[in-house]
Amino acid sequence: MDVLLSVNNREQFFTLPVLPKEFKIQSGMKNETVDTISQGEIKLIGMKNLRSITLQSFFPNHDYSFLRDGECKGQYKAWDYVNMIEEWKNRRVPIRMIISDMPDHLGNMACSIENFEYGQQDGTGDIYYTLTLSEFKFIQLEQKEV
C-alpha cells in the first residue's frame, strides 16, 4: 500500500515516505431525531457528511530501510515535505489523496487540508506530523436556455 498526495493535477506530488501504522476514514450521516407526541422519537435520514481522514506518521531525516518514497526517492528532505504542504495551504486549492490498495472510488479523493500539526520529538531530526484531510466535492451547476 502507498499513500500519494498531489496538487493541481500532479503539478507537485509525493508518496508518504513512512506509512502511518493505521488510518481510519470517517464517513458519517447527518441524521435527525424528532420527538413526536404519539410515537416517541423517530429517525429522519439526512444527507451524507463529508468523509475525512487523519494521517499520522513522520517525515524521515535519514535514509531508513523501510522508506516507501518510490519515484521521489532521495528527492526531498524532511522539511521539504512540510514546506510543500504549507505551500499547498497557501494556494487554497484542493489536493488529491490516493490510497493505492483501496477501490478507486473510495481511495482516490479530492481533499481539503483541515489541519496540519508537525514537530520534532527526538534527536533523530525526523518530523512527526498529524495531517487531517476532509473530502472536497466539486460542484457543477447545470444550466440550460429557457
Query: Which residues of the chain form contacts with other proteins (CB under 8 A)?
Result: 30, 32, 34-39, 42-47, 92-94, 136, 138-146
* 32/122 with CB nearer other proteins: 32
* 65/140 with CB nearer other proteins: 140
Q: Are 114 and 92 in contact (CB under 8 A)?
A: no
Give least dist CB 46 to other proteins, A.
4
Give least dist CB 92 to other proteins, A.
5
* 44/71 with CB nearer other proteins: 44
Pairing type for strands 52-59 and 127-135 reads antiparallel
d(C-alpha 140, C-alpha 109), whole Å: 17
Residues with Cβ within 8 Å of 5's Cβ and at least 6 positions away in sequence, in order, are 13, 14, 15, 16, 85, 95, 96, 97
Task: Give the angle 20-115-48 at the CA atoms, nearest 5°.
Answer: 90
Give least dist CB 98 to other proteins, A.
18
Give least dist CB 114 to other proteins, A.
14
* 33/75 with CB nearer other proteins: 33
